[in-house]
Chain A
């Protein structure tokens, strides 16, 4: 995974334009979308442990383990998707400036980890009701609670409560999809739509690939 970032940077130079990622509104589209998030997380952790900003051994261990678990999710999703995989890791083009800004110091790294994990949780939750294959839904459930544990664990490293406060939530209550969110507030990890997740990814500014398709429309 460590080789990922330089490799994609080279790939970016080779290509004038990075591959557009088109996600269909079906199970394969959802799993590919999840794969994109897992790839982002895995690449982020791989880069984070390469910085010299994390000196505490427990923090370093967490970032390393979390990166390995995201990589395991990547491997699993690629295996499940098989021929339906939409993109290779090398097709992803990371915005190096944007990424480096998120790796500037210890607090930024840990807070970015929390953000990425929270986004993953809301994304998996939001996609769950759209999945039609029972095994895929169970797999999403199996992964999402691990992402939530990650978010909780890194928040704890930062000395914060392990649940997500309203102030950290990137979609406000009024913007939540009503059908997907019978319950709202601190006691819930609300369900974000893929469209909302794409907007969040855009605001993070770490991926150059264009994202489109019915799933995120």
Chain B
């Protein structure tokens, strides 16, 4: 687990340097070829192997998240959940476990080692909501919505990296696409359950101009020919953005006052205008809190 954390911290440091270089190059790109420049989704160029490792990290986390939910549904805080919700937990958890198995299987051919992609033995899932997400069905489903929507956005954020890799990226691109929309089906299911069981004001699709309480990443990105803020179009999240949100879950610190060295603070500052909606000014005051996902 240390390797995972340190590698994320390393990536955060790398992303700071790359961010500076990228800011310059992006500025030049816009100045020079703005009319025809494609709207690249990634701020960090990842190789197919790196995308697969990143995806495997997220899938391992999701699979573990659902494994704990299954346990809680048997004899814990989720035991009172309706059967339809328990069935969804089991089914989605199976899918994530299959994703872990199959991404692990293709990683060696890309030069990677699936066993080197690790998550903590006890991820800090309380970082998602600021409280135990397995304590009751309502909290679990809200956390599940955040996790699944973010998963969809994370995969979407990598398709251009994989495309740019050409033939070398074809296998991982095909795998990512095949997974990406299944995560969207999961997200739709969790959202439907929140509406049907809890009367939450949420639909299987993401609302137009979705608020930061509905979606935890920057769903309403502007500056693209794609109208992401429309309910008919889903947004994406870059790796830096996703790791900034997921980082606190990957920490095993018991004390919330522990310095969150895995959080790319510079990246947060750089992207804060995009990530945070105007009504959220809590970024700075909460940057050291365990509340991870928004």
Which A residues lie at the B interface, using CB under 8 A?
65, 68-70, 72-73, 76, 80, 121, 124-125, 128-129, 131-135, 137-139, 141-153, 156, 161-164, 179-183, 185-191
Q: Are B177 and A125 in contact (CB under 8 A)?
A: yes
Contacting residues, chain B, for A161 (C-beta < 8 A): 87-88, 91, 189
Q: Are A148 and B236 in contact (CB under 8 A)?
A: no
Of B88, B98, B182, B203, which is within 8 A of A65 by CB?
Answer: B203
8 contacts between A and B (CB under 8 A): A76-B227, A141-B155, A142-B235, A147-B181, A156-B193, A163-B182, A189-B182, A190-B178
Q: Are B179 and A72 in contact (CB under 8 A)?
A: no
A70 to B233, CA, bound (A): 10
Contacting residues, chain A, for B187 (C-beta < 8 A): 149, 152
Question: What is the total number of residues of chain B having a CB less than 8 Å from a CB of chain A?
Answer: 60
Which chain B residues (231-267) contact chain A, with CB distance < 8 Å? Answer: 231-236
Within the complex, the shortest CB–CB distance from B230 to chain A, in Å, comes to 6
Q: Are B177 and A156 in contact (CB under 8 A)?
A: no
Q: Are B205 and A69 in contact (CB under 8 A)?
A: yes
Of B3-11, B36-44, B74-82, the stretch lying at the interface with chain A is B36-44
Which B residues lie at the A interface, using CB under 8 A?
38-41, 87-88, 91-92, 94-96, 98-99, 102, 106, 152, 155-156, 159-160, 163-164, 170-171, 173-175, 177-189, 191-193, 196, 203-206, 224-228, 230-236
Q: What is the predominant secondary structure among interface residues of chain A facing chain B?
A: helix
A205 to B41, CA, bound (A): 38
Closest A residue to B152 by beta carbon equals A145
| Closest 4 pairs (CB-CB, A-B) | A152-B188, A153-B204, A162-B189, A148-B184
Of B102, B156, B236, which is within 8 A of A183 by CB?
Answer: B102
